Structure 1
Amino acid sequence: MKELIETIVKPLVDYPDDVLVDVVEEDDRIIYHLAVNKSDMGKVIGKQGRVVKAIRTVVYAAGASQQKKILLEIIE
């Protein structure tokens, strides 16, 4: 899943080397923390959050087979 997030986000940003995805696993959920360069934050979020909503939709659909809830958070 980490590779999927990186594959989606890296082409969107100006600094693909700054894209970092950290994984935190808990009992009932898996949280993916996405960090990008500050100047790329707007590109990842998109107008009215449309881009990040689309990314989350793809990630949640890909993780539907797992028994844990999946969350994607963007951190600064």
Structure 2
Amino acid sequence: MKALVEHIVKALVDQPNFVQVEEVEEGQTLNLRLTVHPDDMGKVIGKQGRTVKAIRSVLYAAAPSQRVRLDIVD
């Protein structure tokens, strides 16, 4: 999952070197914490959150048997 998120987000941002994804397993939930450069935050979130919602939809489809949560960290 971590590699999938990194691949998608690095294609969206202007500064892919700042993209970091931290994977934390808490019980049955996989928490992914995404960190990007502050200038790229708007590109990842998108208008009205559409881009991040689409990324989350891809994650849910990639792991139907596991609960996945994606958080964008400041």
- Amino acid paired to 2:48: Q
Q: 2:72 matched to which residue of 1?
A: 74
User: Quick one: distance in 2 between partners of 1:60 and 1:35?
Assistant: 20
Query: Matched residues, percent identical?
Result: 54
- Amino acid paired to 1:50: R
The TM-score, its normalising length taken from structure 2, stands at 0.96
Q: 1:29 matched to which residue of 2?
A: 29
Structure 1 runs of 4+ off > 6 angstroms? none
Displacement of 1:11: 1.0
User: Quick one: distance in 2 between partners of 1:32 and 1:47?
Assistant: 22
CA-to-partner distance for each residue in 1:12-59, whole Å, 9 max, x for gaps?
101000000001101121100000000000000000000000000001
RMSD, aligned α-carbons: 0.8
Q: 1:56 matched to which residue of 2?
A: 56
